[in-house]
Structure 1
Amino acid sequence: MNPTLWATLTDDQKNGVYEGHGTFIELITGTGEMVETKALAEPSETKTVRVEGGETQVQKSAFVESEAFLCGYYVVDVETEERAVELAAMIPDARYTAVEVRKIVHEG
């Protein structure tokens, strides 16, 4: 998410993104590829925690200062990386900003 870019979108474009997520969720739920999705709070609500010298330090901001930020994610179960990329291109935000694709390397 890039708030500066988001501010340039029309109300119709923003509504298209919101509605597009509903359509995308229906699609990947229907194909059985949906595992989970979460929307995340804005960076202004972020707390970064470090332990230094045995003391917990809490900073009321994001770890990396940037205009763009992770605003949510989808976890999908797909057969190939190509399918993951195909699905990422269907996420409505991809028309306006980047969508990252990452493998899960460990599950707890």
Structure 2
Amino acid sequence: QDRILRHLTVGCTRLEFEYEIPYADAEKMLDELAEKPIIEKLRYVIPAGDGLKWEIDEFLGVNQGLVVAEIELPSEETCFIKPAWLGKEVSLDPRFFNSNLVSNPYSTWKK
């Protein structure tokens, strides 16, 4: 069985609902509901201390060249150490939302 992850965004907070679904249902959802092209990326997980972790997404395909780091926190008020390799904050920039990267891929942005 596969897992589906649904994001709901309010400010920097994203609600996530994660649960198992049958493989055939996942295929049907991707075929019929997902906007195309499908976002392609590699994900790397790096421990951040205190039970936290960084999820680093290296985008592929039409979004190749874009790398985004995300840390999941118990709340927006949780303090964490920002590593030296971390770039600018883009949480509230809609260009970086996966839903917008489908229609406005990174490869088309003016650099």
What range describes the TM-score normalised by the shorter chain of this pair? Answer: under 0.3
What TM-score results when the alignment is normalised by the length of structure 1?
0.28
The higher relative CO (CA closer than 8 Å, separation ≥ 6) is in: 1
Say which structure is richer in strand. 2
Structure with greater Cα Rg: 1
Say which structure is richer in helix. 1
